[in-house]
Amino acid sequence: MIELTRVSKSFPGMERPAVDGVSLSIQAGETLVLLGSSGSGKSTLLKLINRLLEPDAGEIRVNGEPVADQPVLKLRRSMGYVIQNVGLFPHWTVEGNVGGPLRMAGGSTVRRRERSRELLTMVGLEPTEFGDRYPDELSGGQQQRVGVARALANDPDILLMDEPFGALDGVTREKLQQEVLRLKRELGKTILLVTHDLFEALALGDRIGVMHEGRLEQVGTREEVLQKPATPFVRELFGKPAKQLEAFQDSQG
């Protein structure tokens, strides 16, 4: 569904490329988690996919077609985009925020209301209780649920999620991780999720892509990155979790 071939991106004043020759394929219905520290290039990669940024080199294809050949608005409407700080419009109600993408696409008022209520229910927010509230009347976790609902408004095949739970407390974060897993099972979306949290990557990813200094160090399943690290960086990164997993397995007999 998404294919990157030797994609690179540099910014003025940087000593090295933000993204350096990355090649990656993501299958339909797969959740691939990009794991890496700040500045590793993972968020830049998302912005290249939905053309918030343009690559300096390489090619990106979505559904087999180069994104450079696709109209920007059409491309972005085919993808849901969830970011850490949510970006809700403060003067719009929750229902209005969720229905925003449909409004921009020319959807009727009745359709926007029906779809907004359907999505709020899907993410665990009762429409009659939350639909008329404003973002500043919600907790951080509730705002993030609204952000996920909004990203699903146009029923996109692809969800791009950039550190969606990074600002939340541990308990809320874990609840929303479980919500993402539930939505994935129910909706079958292709999800590309960015995180710096190693355990979040292990919990959510069908496969994990490890980014470091703009390069893709390894792509593999949970077992592969834990047991067969491809580079010294990946080995060091997953060393502690691998030992914890081995100890747990030993304790289970």
In this predicted model, what pLDDT tens digit does every residue of 36-81 receive, in sequence order? 888 899 999 999 999 999 999 999 999 999 999 999 988 888 898 8
Q: Which residues contact 24 (CB under 8 A, 6 or more apart)?
A: 2, 3, 4, 32, 209, 216, 219
Residue appearing with tokens 């359907």: 118
Mean local confidence (pLDDT), 190-204: 90
In this predicted model, what pLDDT tens digit does every residue of 233-245 receive, in sequence order? 999 988 876 666 5
> Quick check: 185 pLDDT over 90?
no
Q: Give the per-residue pLDDT at 17.
A: 94
CATH 3.40.50.300 spans which residues of the chain?
1-78+158-253
In this predicted model, what pLDDT tens digit does every residue of 119-159 receive, in sequence order? 898 888 899 999 999 999 998 888 888 888 888 888 888 99
- CA distance linking residue 82 with residue 144, whole number of Å: 8
pLDDT class of 252 with cuts at 50, 70, 90 = very low
Q: Which of 1.10.1530.10, 1.10.150.530, 3.40.50.300, 3.40.47.10 is the CATH number of 1-78+158-253?
A: 3.40.50.300
The pTM score is 0.86
> Quick check: 248 pLDDT over 50?
no
Tell me what the pLDDT averaged over the chain comes to: 87
Q: Give the per-residue pLDDT at 86.
A: 67
Q: Which amino acid is at 44?
A: T
Q: Give the per-residue pLDDT at 102.
A: 78
